[in-house]
Amino acid sequence: MSRIGRLAIAVPSGVTVAVEPGTVRVSGPRGKLAVAINPLAEVKVEGNAVNITRRDDSRTARGVHGLTRVLIANMVTGVSTGFRRVLEINGVGYRAEVKGRAIQLALGYSHPVIFPLPNGIDAKVDKQTVITLEGADRQVLGETAAAIRKLRPPEPYKGKGIKYAEEKIRRKAGKAVGAAS
């Protein structure tokens, strides 16, 4: 039995879980989410808990069991409290600004970079160098944060670029000048 898949998902008040053939829909105060469910997994709502079981004991079914449980748990957390990702910008002249449904970034290029935000993701910029992304869908939030980071990944010599707040950049020593031969 999957150690993750067998855990019940607690459903907080204000969140509803609807199981339809092939999909699970979750709605709450922060929005509505849906996910397609593999036929090898069965989802049952019992009171304030959601239980996931698998139809057989094949290797694929065991993998789908834990995955399905995590996807539904992330949806329940997303519509109740939401997810947050923080990005930091390091570099002289590097800054960000929110303009409507887009983030305008100055990243050392000859032009400003305009990054449109996907639906369901909100951005806030503090001190022009800290971008906070919030949303109910964990997957879309992670993909958005990765796409913003990819615009100017941190480099190892001076640490300039966009990095996650919890990320540590391994620094390299520069070229040694006047080394004895």
DSSP state of 1: -
The answer to which of 5-9, 24-28, 87-91 has the lowest mean pLDDT is 5-9
33 in helix, strand or coil?
strand
Q: Is the pLDDT of residue 70 over 60?
A: yes
107 in helix, strand or coil?
coil
d(CA 162, CA 88): 6
Contact predicate 53/41, CB 8 Å: yes
Q: Rounded to the nearest 5 degrees, what angle is found at the Cα of 12, between the Cα atoms of 10 and 16?
A: 95
Question: pLDDT, tens digit, for every residue of 85-100?
Answer: 999 898 888 898 998 8
Summary mean pLDDT of the chain: 87
Instruction: Report residue 120: phi and psi, to 5°.
Output: 90, -5
